[in-house]
Amino acid sequence: MMEELPTALLLDAYRSGYFPMADPETGVLEWYRPDPRAIIELDGFHISKSLCRTIRSGHFMIRSDWAFDHVLLACAAQGPGREQTWIDHRIAEACLSLHEHGMAHSVEAWHGGRLVGGLYGVLVGGAFFGESMFSRPGQGGRDASKVCLAWLVEHLRAIGASLLDIQFTTPHLERLGATEITDNQYIERLDLAIDQPIQWQITP
């Protein structure tokens, strides 16, 4: 069966600075290359005192790639503050395929045996394309996505990655250190990053 969104096409798009989003009303799959582009500088991530306390408290068990499909489904699900979703079955299936090939990864926050927050994205060379995140405050997941993002930044530093692309910024992400660069600056950094021989390297 032919893939509705071929993984080869998706990877080529990432390498060229584009990413897909499905229009929730029309269902049309649209491609974006925003200018300016939002990134988080790996050496410029801001951890507040309260977030630092949460990380040190051990409230969350952080895992990677234990439940990629569940993270993806949670990010695609509608809910308060997320009345519409751009992740449709085509994007989900393509990302699952990338995960099976070791190129898409999740970071997960667990509490009391439950998945209460997480994020996922795609790693191409030394560039990580952050796609979406979620948290479940009512299940003990307050700040879960922030903790996952902090873990991601540390992990990308550890494996030698050089670019964390978050596509668009928000006031919430700006407080964590998100910044914007021009499309020309982004493509220059992207070209360098995707040539890095970087692997995710998680020890079970």
**Model confidence pLDDT, tens digit, residues 127-139:** 999 999 999 999 9
Average pLDDT over residues 178-200: 97
Is the pLDDT confidence value at 110 over 90? yes
Strands (E), the chain: 19-22, 29-32, 37-40, 61-64, 104-111, 114-124, 127-135, 163-167, 178-181
Q: What is the structure's pLDDT at 81? A: 61
Burial bucket for residue 174 (CB in 10 Å: 0-12, 13-18, 19+): middle
Cα separation, 128 vs 162, whole angstroms: 8
Cα separation, 49 vs 17, whole angstroms: 34
The answer to whether domain 7-194 has CATH 3.40.640.10 is: no
Q: What is the structure's pLDDT at 145? A: 96
Confidence of residue 85 (pLDDT cuts 50, 70, 90): confident
Q: Average pLDDT, whole number, for the chain?
A: 94
pLDDT tens for residues 31-78?
999 999 999 999 999 999 999 999 999 999 999 999 999 999 999 997
The tokens 């919430």 sit on which residue? 172
